[in-house]
Amino acid sequence: MIDSLQAGYGIQDAVSFSTGKGDLAKAILAHTSGSSAEVYLHGGHITSWKTFNGDELFFLSRESWFEPGRPIRGGIPIVFPQFGGGTLPAHGIARTSEWKLSGSSVLDSGEVCIELTLLSDDMTLGVWPHEFALRLKVMLGAESLTARLSVDNSGLDSFDFQAVMHTYFAIGDIGKCAVHGLEGVTLIDSLAGCGKSAESRPAIRFAGETDRIYLSAPDALQIDDEANGRRISIAKNGMADVVVWNPWVNKSKRISDLGDDEYLRMVCVETGVIEHPIHLTPKETWSGETVFTFGSI
Ligand code: TA6
């Protein structure tokens, strides 16, 4: 499989393939600046994004599963067609499905690009009875990583879906981390279970379990990893909502694929469509993207 991926989509000094954890196939993206990224075909899952000096920007749990049918804990899990619990498996079927490579290139900008596709099949139709094509385009620049998600309705009936990039960021210390850009935004506190409220803080800091859905949030956000003196800027487009999550002590102990102490070095700032699911009629396409850029505080 690796040989055929390399033959079909390998690009010298830019895109290569190898067997990763759990003997799962992964793509390795290398930018001329020295930045890099890794993407598993399992789940269409971006698991690593490193700066030109090798600093890892995405969190990946040391306890993560790397096996068919189970989601990887960290990087960017693709949540589709359902966010959270409901009639489908939690966070949907995309993150536990086997995606295929569908393209690779080096753009005129110098960004290294691959595309992965997940097509509905008997397995997905047995869980969610709609025909779709889900595509993830990953573009790696010197200081940026762009993830663009699109959904084609390839069937004969309309359907509604939610889609979220459930991004886990690596940080030095959750006690020295701030998320900027959500002041005044209407939110649902998943822990409080009581309607909507407004974010009163210019900067969100963490002193306990945090699980909040921000509705129709601004497209520009910022994560300050103060312990490392690093800033991650987030620019979303076509993705109205944001989720901020840290499991803290007790929930971490209940998550078997997360180390008990790992909450100290991670924060999820997720981008997607949650409150107003997208309605696609046959042959319609939706797309949304998030651009991540790293820099210093
Ligand atoms: O996005 C926040 C959240 O919905 C939390 O409630 C928590 O469940 C987290 O996702 C992780 O979910 P997972 O199914 O990956 O364990």
Question: Do 206 and 240 contact (CB within 8 A), yes or no?
Answer: no
- Please, which pLDDT band fits residue 171 given cuts at 50, 70 and 90? very high
The pLDDT of 141-163, averaged and rounded, is 98
Q: Which two tokens stand for residue 258?
A: 């997360």
Give the catalytic positions in this structure.
166, 270
Question: Could you report the per-residue pLDDT of 27-46, keeping only the tens digit for each?
Answer: 999 999 999 999 999 999 99
84 CA from centroid of ligand 1 (Å): 7
Residue 297 has pLDDT above 90, yes or no: yes
151 CA from centroid of ligand 1 (Å): 22
Residue 136 has pLDDT above 80, yes or no: yes
The pLDDT of 195-210, averaged and rounded, is 97
Question: Do 167 and 58 contact (CB within 8 A), yes or no?
Answer: yes
Confidence at residue 194, expressed as pLDDT on a 0 to 100 scale: 76
Residue 167 has pLDDT above 80, yes or no: yes
Residue 115 has pLDDT above 90, yes or no: yes
Distance, in Å, from the CA atom of 238 to the CA atom of 271, rounded to the nearest integer, reads: 10
The pLDDT of 102-112, averaged and rounded, is 98
104 CA from centroid of ligand 1 (Å): 31
Ligand 1: does its nearest atom lie under 6 Å from the Cβ of 243? yes
Distance, in Å, from the CA atom of 113 to the CA atom of 82, rounded to the nearest integer, reads: 27
Question: Could you report the per-residue pLDDT of 175-202, keeping only the tens digit for each?
Answer: 999 999 999 999 999 999 779 999 999 9
Q: Which two tokens stand for residue 207?
A: 């002193």
Residue 138 has pLDDT above 80, yes or no: yes
Spatial CB neighbours of 278, under 8 Å, sequence gap ≥ 6? 151, 160, 161, 162, 163, 286
Residue 131 has pLDDT above 90, yes or no: yes
- Among 91, 179, 250, the mutation site with the greatest number of ligand 1 atoms within 8 A of its Cβ is 91
Spatial CB neighbours of 281, under 8 Å, sequence gap ≥ 6? 153, 158
Confidence at residue 193, expressed as pLDDT on a 0 to 100 scale: 78
Nearest ligand 1 atom to alpha carbon 77: 15
Among 41, 50, 9, 48, smallest CA distance to 22 is for 41
**180 strand-pairing partners:** 203, 222
| Residues 195, 198, 199, 202, Cα dihedral to 10° | 180
Average pLDDT, the chain: 98
Whether omega before 277 lies within 30 degrees of 0, making that bond cis, reads: no
Confidence at residue 292, expressed as pLDDT on a 0 to 100 scale: 98
Residue identifier of the C-alpha nearest atom 6 of ligand 1: 211
What percentage of the chain exceeds 90 in pLDDT?
A: 99
